Structure 1
Amino acid sequence: MIVNADDLGMTHGVNRAIFKGYDDGCITHASIMANGDSFDDAINGAIEREGLGIGLHLDITYGKAIIEDSLYCDSDGYFKLEYKDLIFRKDSQFLLAVEREWDAQISLVLSSLPQDRILTHIDSHRHIHIIPHLYPIAVKLAKRYNIERVRLIKEDFIDSMRIARRFNFILNKGIIKYTILKLFTMLNLKQEDLYGDRRFYSILYTGVVDAEIIKRVIESKKRYEIMVHPGYPHLEKDTQFYDEEDRDYRISDNRMRELEAVLSIKRDDIK
């Protein structure tokens, strides 16, 4: 089973929580933002933890770009597009610019890690790589850099309800995100599948993983990737975020609850 922490490198507090979850809990992998404000700290922590699987958290909507391009950046070099904008940007010039930016993000991470450290996977901030005309770019780059796994949302609605045993996916908008990403995943599976037979958990119940959920996934005896976003909200009160949605998400008490969840179980218990 994979327990993957997203957003490594976003902030110092995020890094501390993810590394704590690896050192003392059940986190097995982390996805790093090459353009994150705390990227250098994230790299140093990853180097110290050779067993932590490191993948790319591709980005084209949050923070500062590696390659400044007016197609997706404002005049200060910060990403200016939102998720809904990306859905309709299919022109070849834009897609080539995205490929160059994502290639630069991967290259930066690889050049910052020891030469023998492989990248285990690709995913993305807000799952932008799953947008059907962006997904082929992620697959192309995965093959270019010998990265074996590219996240797809192979989450089963009934399984997730059985695992979570709650119905608040309506209140937290999880059903909307789930429906969109499942549709995109179905379209992407017609192109190529680098995710395999692994199941995915925590879109329908996004951001609210607890210890009981992890235990039920373990008990299911199925191959899963659980996505988590642990954090220390008290460390983020004065952090500069680039949009209110990410700020609200990161200062939520759910970030500490997810950290407590991954700390309640050891990696040896999920193998």
Structure 2
Amino acid sequence: MRIQVHADDLGLSESINRAIFSAYDHGRLDSTSLIINAPALHTALVGLRQRPGLSCGLHFNLIEGRPITAPDALPLLVNKQGQFRHSFPGLLWRSLFAPVRYRRNLMKQIEIELKAQLDCFFEKTGRPAMTVDGHQHTHAIPVVHAILRRLNRNGMIRTCRGLREGGSTDLLSTLRPAALVNRMKSLLLARLERGNYKRGLESQLPVRNQWLIGVLHSGTMSLHAVEYSLSRLTARAALHDTVELLFHPAYPAHPAHRSKSAQQTGTSESDNSSESSYNNDAPKTDADRSNKQAIGRRFYFDFTYRAAREREYRLLISGEWQKLKAQFPSLS
């Protein structure tokens, strides 16, 4: 089997850009996906131009921040502040159970924004037909996947990420609080993907990977989790199968690390908390307006979400990862 090491969220913040480019420069990363409407886009594009060998697709975003399209054209997708208003569950629910007219209009607006992001990706990167994946795996939502199939017919899209989870957890990992949430998420994504491909539609929008390791270990990716999952998957995967190892790295916030990374990757040292402000600049719903909730989200991001990303970066560049490559020769 072939193992592809991939990092999502390029462009989301300067620290994420630095981590992704540093991991690639260390020879630990095969590919990444770019959020074209993210706050740190400029340095992401500079870094990509400096690394033509780094494979990059579109990480299209219908969940956070502002759309590429004028907000007035997307009243069902954005709030009064012009930012995306729906979470993954909210978008899934509305696309399945809202009135027919609402769903039809929602689908039209999603297609407008997806086309705009695809066009913007090509304009900014100069790269041709590409692979795509959705921020927070929104490409699994049936109406979104149907739109992607249509866009595939004109050659704008080559492949998308497969969501067949190949990760495995031992008993100890299963007992962790995050394990149940990740398991439920993995089962939901698998169910949605089976529905998307059950009618022989795979030929219209091929998947780039037959297996994915990452959703089951979201927020808890570790050397043990990767080694255990790959060992178990070796017996299940076909010889020609591609396994995507999915990471969400961020460069450590320590000033010494920040300075060294900027020197190595050629990116700016000023993060300006762009990722945090991207998520929190404006509320997505009226219920989000209270200052207490905003502080809670920011606290969670700063001390949990960020810490998990930094652990993933440290894993990628660690000596232990180098040793793992000897056990699995196709690993980056």
| Fold conserved between structures, TM > 0.5 | yes
1:262 corresponding residue in structure 2: 316
Alignment equivalent of 2:142, drawn from 132, 156, 174? 132
Moved more, 222-231 or 168-177: 168-177
**Structure 1: 5+ residue stretches without partners:** none
User: Which is bigger in relative contact order (C-alpha 8 A, separation at least 6)?
Assistant: 2
CA distance in 1, matches of 2:26, 2:308: 19
Moved more, 89-98 or 236-245: 236-245
1:149 equivalenced with 2:164 (yes/no): no
2:40 maps to a residue whose letter is S
Distance change >3 Å, CA 218–CA 152, structure 1 → 2: closer
Distance change >3 Å, CA 213–CA 64, structure 1 → 2: same
Distance change >3 Å, CA 128–CA 210, structure 1 → 2: same
2:100 corresponding residue in structure 1: none
1:198 maps to a residue whose letter is Q
Moved more, 257-266 or 17-26: 257-266
1:46 maps to a residue whose letter is L
Provide, for residues 178-225 of structure 1, a one-character-per-residue CA deviation record: whole Å limited to 9, x for no partner: 121111111112142211662111111113222344445565554300
Distance change >3 Å, CA 201–CA 165, structure 1 → 2: farther
Alignment equivalent of 1:167, drawn from 151, 160, 174? 174
The answer to whether the 8 A contact 1:53-1:119 is kept is: no
1:42 corresponding residue in structure 2: 44
CA distance in 2, matches of 1:136, 1:9: 26
Moved more, 188-197 or 6-15: 188-197
1:177 equivalenced with 2:182 (yes/no): no
**Structure 2: 5+ residue stretches without partners:** 96-102, 259-270, 281-296
CA distance in 2, matches of 1:122, 1:78: 22
1:209 corresponding residue in structure 2: 221
Relative to total residues, which structure has the larger helix share, 1 or 2?
2
CA distance in 2, matches of 1:199, 1:45: 28
Distance change >3 Å, CA 65–CA 249, structure 1 → 2: farther
Determine helix, strand or coil for the equivalent of 2:184. Answer: helix
Moved more, 185-194 or 230-239: 230-239
Moved more, 88-97 or 13-22: 88-97
Q: What RMSD over aligned residues (CA atoms) do the two structures have, in Å? A: 2.7
TM-score (norm 1): 0.86
Distance change >3 Å, CA 165–CA 135, structure 1 → 2: farther
- % same residue: 24
Alignment equivalent of 2:112, drawn from 95, 100, 112? 100
The answer to whether the 8 A contact 2:159-2:207 is kept is: yes
The answer to whether the 8 A contact 1:31-1:55 is kept is: yes
CA distance in 1, matches of 2:230, 2:189: 24
Alignment equivalent of 1:56, drawn from 58, 62, 87? 58
Alignment equivalent of 2:12, drawn from 6, 10, 16? 10
TM-score (norm 2): 0.72
Distance change >3 Å, CA 179–CA 217, structure 1 → 2: closer
Aligned length: 266
The structure with the largest alpha-carbon Rg is 2
